Amino acid sequence: MFGLGKKKDFTATIVNTGQTFEVKGGINLLQAALNAGIEWPHDCRVGSCGSCRTTIKSGKIKPLNDFSYVLDGDQLKSGMVLACQSRLQSDIEVEVDFGQDAIN
């Protein structure tokens, strides 16, 4: 079959800085940003600190973990996700607060 098992590459755009970077199939959004030299806020990389949080403005991601352990209901409703626990399912546009501290 065509394409089965092949992971696609997508493009992510940080709308508040205008930066774009490629997200290779199979790697998470945070890792792709760091690979591209972007100083994306992060700490634990395993979905527990919340410092990599970002708001999806358009596009689709696949969560690798349950975000509700770290993000509250309002944040989830506003489209907030954890970049270290997100794989892309389309090109996306996100907003990142580069001045934020970890939630915990």
Give the SS3 label for residue 86.
strand
DSSP tag of 70: T
36 contacts ligand FES (rule: CB under 6 A): no
Q: Please identify, using beta-carbon distances, which residue of 3 and 73 lies nearer to ligand FES.
A: 73
Q: Please identify, using beta-carbon distances, which residue of 45 and 57 lies nearer to ligand FES.
A: 45
Q: Please identify, using beta-carbon distances, which residue of 43 and 91 lies nearer to ligand FES.
A: 43
Interface pattern 71-90 for ligand FES (x via CB under 6 A): -----------x-x------
- Distance of closest approach, residue 43 Cβ to ligand FES, in angstroms: 5
Q: How far apart are CA 99 and CA 83, in angstroms?
A: 16
Interface pattern 38-67 for ligand FES (x via CB under 6 A): ----xxxx-xxxxxx---------------
Q: What are phi and psi of 92, to 5 degrees?
A: -135, 160
DSSP E strands, the chain: 10-14, 19-23, 53-58, 61-63, 80-82, 86-88, 92-95
